[in-house]
Amino acid sequence: MMSKQKITALAGTGAASEAMRQINPDVVAAYPITPQTEIVMKFSEFVGDGKVDTEMIPVESEHSAMSACVGASAAGARTMTATSANGLALMWEIVYIAASQRLPIVMPVVNRALSGPINIHCDHSDTMGTRESGWIQIYCENGQEVYDNVICAIRIAENKKVLLPVMVMQDGFITSHALERVSINEDADVRKFVGEYKPEFPLLDIDKPVTYGPLDLFDYYFEHKRQQSDALTRVPKVIDEVYAEYKKLSGREYRRIETYKADGAELAVIALNSTVGTAKDVVDELREKGVKAGVVFPRMIRPFPGEELGEILSKFKAVAVLDRSESFSSQGGPLFCEVKAALYETNPRPLMMNGIYGLGGREINPEQIMGVFDDLGKAAKAGKIAEKVKYIGVRD
C-alpha cells in the first residue's frame, strides 16, 4: 500500500538526514566536512532531541569515522555515516576494508572536488576515485532522489545475496544546499520498508564467535576477492527488486539507467547527478526544434551496467559523455573511458566524444550543453568526431 506523502522543502543534505531519521540506524559515526556537514549536523539534532535511538559517535577524523563504522557494523549494528571529498580520501584505507569485510554500511556522499588546489565545490573526483573500492555507487539528480535512494540503499546493502556497503551521491552545493520540494513517506512505512536489521555474523553474538579481519595471504585472499566480484554481479537484480517494492511504497519509480527522450533519439548525452536535470531542459528545447536529442543517466556506476548501456547507446548516432572529473589517463574522463569500454562488443557503435566540465564547481549552463549537442550533430553528419576530449567551460 502506498505511504501517505508529505511535501516538504528540503536541501539535498536535509533529504539525506530525513531519510536517516526515518531509517533510525543503530550507529552513526561521522566527522563534519563541507558540504556534507549539514547531513550529520541535522542528524545529531535528531539524536539530541530523542527522535532516533541511534548511538552517535563523534570521531576525530574520517579515518576514525569509517573505522568506527566497520567496528559497529561487524558488531551487528545497522550503521551509517556521510562524507565528502577529502573526508572520503582520508577514509580511503577503511573504505576498502568495509567492502572486503562485506559490511552493509550506507554512506551518503556529497560530491566535492578533491584537493588540491583546495576547493569546496562540486565535482566527482572524490567518488570516481573510489570506484574500485568494492562499494555499490548510486548517483542522484536531486534531493528527492537522494531521499528515496538512501532508504533503498539500506535494503540493497543488507540483502543476503549482496552484503556490500553503498554510497549514495549528490552534487555539492548544487543539490546539497538548494531547497527543493521533497516528497516524504510516513515514518512508520519507512521503518517497515527497511525492516529490522538481522546481521549475518555479528561479533556480539557470543554463542557464535566469529573472527573478523584475520591475515589472508596468497592462500585465500584471491578467493575472497572473487567472492566480492560475484556479489556485485547479483546487485542489479536486487536493486531492481528493491526499486519495484519502493515504487509501491512511494509511487516513485527508479531505474539503474534512467533515460530521457531516448526513444528515437539520434544524439545523446550521458551525465550524472544534477547535470542530468540541466541536460533534460536542453533536450526539451532541442526536441521542440526537431532535433532528435536524449539524455542517459547511468545512476548505478558500481557495478557498471555495461551491457545494458551498450544496448541503449547502440541506437544513437553520436554520444557525448559528460565527466565532472579528470582521470588523467590522457584518454578522457573516468565515465567516458568506462562507457567506451562497455561499447566494444556493441554493434553498431555510436560516435563518442567526451566533455570534461565543471571541475571545482565551475558552472555548467544550458548553452554549453547545447554546444555539446551542436558538436554531436556535426559529428553525426560528418561521420566522425572532430575533438575526442573537450574541456567545457575552461578558459583557453
Q: Which positions touch other proteins (CB under 8 A)?
A: 100-103, 163, 201, 208-214, 216, 219-224, 226-227, 230-231
38 within 8 A of 11, measured Cβ to Cβ: yes
Q: Is 88 helix (H, G, I), strand (E, B) or coil?
A: helix
Would you say 198 or 226 has its CB closer to other proteins? Answer: 226
CB of 65 to other proteins, least distance (A): 20
Q: Cβ(316)–Cβ(304) under 8 Å?
A: no
Which residue from 173, 127, 151, 82 is spatially nearest to 272, judged by alpha carbons?
127
DSSP letter for 115, please: S
User: Least distance in Å: CB of 216 to other proteins?
Assistant: 5
Among residues 221 and 344, whose Cβ is nearest to other proteins? 221
Per the CB < 8 A criterion, the answer to whether 162 and 152 are in contact is: no
Minimum separation from the CB atom of position 196 to other proteins (A): 21
Question: What would the grid cell of residue 244 be?
Answer: 519495484
The residues near 364 (Cβ < 8 Å, ≥ 6 apart) are 275, 278, 322, 357, 358, 392, 393
Beta bridge partners of 55: 27
64 or 101: CB nearest other proteins: 101
* Minimum CB–partner distance for residue 93 and other proteins (Å): 16
Tell the smallest beta-carbon distance from residue 187 to other proteins (Å).
Answer: 32
Which C-beta is closer to other proteins: that of 224 or that of 378?
Answer: 224
Nearest CB to other proteins, comparing residues 223 and 396: 223
- In 219-333, which residue ranges form alpha helices assigned H by DSSP? 221-233, 235-250, 275-288, 306-313
Q: Is the dihedral of CA 271, 272, 278, 280 positive or negative?
A: positive
Q: Which is nearer to other proteins, 70 or 283 (CB)?
A: 70
What the block records as the C-alpha cell of 260 is 530521457
Smallest gap, in angstroms, from Cβ of residue 168 to other proteins? 22
